[in-house]
Every structure is written in C-alpha cells, then in structure tokens.
Structure 1
C-alpha cells in the first residue's frame, strides 16, 4: 500500500503513477496487488488533528482487510511504502497495533498483518528537536508555522500526546515488522538524521532494519543545489529497491 507525500497539506493517491510506475508494473506482474490511498490533509477546510491523517491511513488498511475476499488479497501479507509525509505514515501503519488510531472502518474482518514498512525520506520522530536542526536553520518561519498547525491539541489529546502517537520511534519493539529506510544524505526538509535515529533505535531493540543513504541527494533524491555531483541512485533504482524488498518479504511469509 503506497502512501503519498505532500507535506501533510497536499498530494493525492495519483502520485503512484509517477513515483511508482515501475513498482506498479513489476509487482503486479509478480502477482502482488498494489493499492494507493488518499488521506485527509491540512488546509482543505476541515479542522484536523495531526493524528487523524495517520488514522485515515490505518483505516485504509482496515478497509483493504475487510474487503480482502472481494479484492483477492491476503490481509496478512501487507507491506506499506510511503514517500516523505507518507513515509512516516507507512511506518506508523506497520509498527502499531491494528486497533490503534480507530477510525470509521471497524468490526470483524479488519484484522490484518503488515509484514514490512518502507519509508523514503519520512519523519521518524517529533520528540527529538535536535534531529530537525538542519530544517529549522534553513526554514525557520515555515517550520514554526507548520509545527503550530500540526501539533495543536485536538480530539482530547495534548500536543505531547499527539507527538508520541505519530512518532515511529515510540512504537518500536524487538518483534516489530522489518523496516527499510531510504534517505538522501543532504536532505534539508526531512534531515537524514531522522532515519539514522530510527535505524539506531530499532537496532538497539534487536529489530530488523536497513538504512540506505543516497549520496549527493536532497529531498526526493533530487540533486543538491549548487553541486555538480549527481545523486548516487536514480529514481528508478530506488523503485527497484522497493520491488526487491516487497517480493522478498512476501515470499518469506
């Protein structure tokens, strides 16, 4: 299941056709279904708590599970993949219990198992400010206004409670599903230190985690401004990482 990015204020499920065109082709050819989802974002007229964006993604998985017979999918062989804002949600969908962040899709048949999560340059925690220092230094005003929007108390939850709920590092366990993190080494928007942090935290708990650094790459694996060096991986090469990893996880189960 692909979860799009967009800074929590934009993006649509149609991003799969540009971000995952090769993935769509190769995984479906291998007999693996691919779903791409929409979720509510800020700035569309609805008053939201940040956790509700994650709730929508959890609901999408519950919907797929509840309709698995009709869709011809195995609800106990799910993998989540997300880019940027979607990466953080892919992690939460994999690392949290089925009934955490309950939404509109409830009842029997929503049981599911996420067997792995892939995050491309996604946030992994909102509780360690120093990991965000590169972004805060480069985009101070934008970072402050976004933080105020995302972490205002909502739905009976305090700002701190929301941060804990949506921070992947708070949900790691020794038996958590395997994680693949892919991140540009000079990303100013979501610093690579966030992926390094989750990698270290998962390793310390005995978890199965891999981190691939794309060198000479900013956010979205784009070339670094002012540098002649090309990113060490093309976008298609990063898609191939997803294809190989998903097939490996599915075959193991």
Structure 2
C-alpha cells in the first residue's frame, strides 16, 4: 500500500517541480471557487449566469443527475489535460496528494462524520492491470486521510467497458448503463452521505451510473468530487449561453481519456 505521507515528502516535490518547469502557469493557478461553476453539473458559468438555488443551469441535462452536487478544482483545459495525463499515463501517482490536498477544503463538513463515506470510481481489473493503479482511488484514499473521514471501496465494475474517449454523449450513457454494483451485497447505506471521487467529468454518465447503486442501497445523499470538468460540446461551456453572457476563458479541450 502506498504511504502518502512519504510520497508527499520524497516524491511529490520532484513530480510537481518537474511539471512546473514545463508548465509555469501551474505556479499561479488556484482552485476554482464554487461561484465559478454550476453546483449541479460542474459547467463553467459567469457569475451573472448562475441559476437560482437548486435550479439547473443552461448546461444541465434535461434529466437531473442522481448525484446532488459536484465539486471541481478546474475546467478541463490545456494545463489540466497535461497534468492529468502525467498523473495517469506517466504513472506519477505521487501527484495524488496534490489533487486531494486541494479538494479537501471544498468537501462539505459532515453533519455526522460516522455516516460520511468517501469512495471512488473503480476500474475493471483488466484496466487496472494495464494502468498499474486506480487514479481515482489514490485521490480518494488520501482525501479521506486529510479530512479524517472514512474511505471504503463501495463499488465494483460489472463488466469491462470500452473507453469513453471517442463516444458520443448518448453512446457514453449506454456504455455506462448498469456498469457498477455494490462491492458487497449486504452494504446498508441508509442515512449515509457518500462522496464519489473521479478525475474527469465530461457528460456525467460515469458518475451517474456509480451513484445509482449507492442510492438504491439507502444513501441519503451522493456528492461528486472531481479534479476537472470538460465541456462535452467542445465549446468552452459557451454553447447555451446568450452572447452577452459569454466571457473569454482559458482554452478548454476535450479529454483524450
């Protein structure tokens, strides 16, 4: 098992310093404020376009997500594309504390910490063997330690699903349909608040599919926490906004993974 405190001390500075040398903009970056995005879907919004409380924004899907709220660090742009790819595919797993330490202050304070569980989006065993680790699990485990909350791997994959990369929004939805189930049949989550951690949210189909078995098991509330949110329409979250509400933002790209 990875010891995150040692990872932070010995490996994280090297990984961050190396990445920062090629991406100096990371030194001036700070996590998004909740006012920068929609709390229901995570889409970037100018302040004047924010909907009333508990109302959908122009980017929200017609059918509400089963999770109640989403927390993010940034929109998916060039900087975060490279950072996520360095973490996932170059196997710089020591970057996990960088993400979790910045998510931690944004996690809601539990009314009852004994009934608050942090979990992650599981990988199929074949995909995990290929990658060597589950990027969401490392962030979730360390986030639980930082917040002094419980981590449990509540979910598992029911089947190996193709990569979402080249799929349309409707294909992503079909691809993720019934893709998750409880890791143990007897989990009783009645009255629990569950926080699901993933790296990227695009259409939300993965997080939605993962939320359903948790709610079916009795969870009162499911919140999603991600590193970054991508615009599935590749329009820098400007697709449905009136012209007067459009504002220049950092170039946003669609994730390749």
> What TM-score do the two structures reach when normalised by structure 2?
0.32
Higher relative contact order (CA 8 A, sep 6+): 2
Structure with higher helix content: 1
> What TM-score do the two structures reach when normalised by structure 1?
0.32
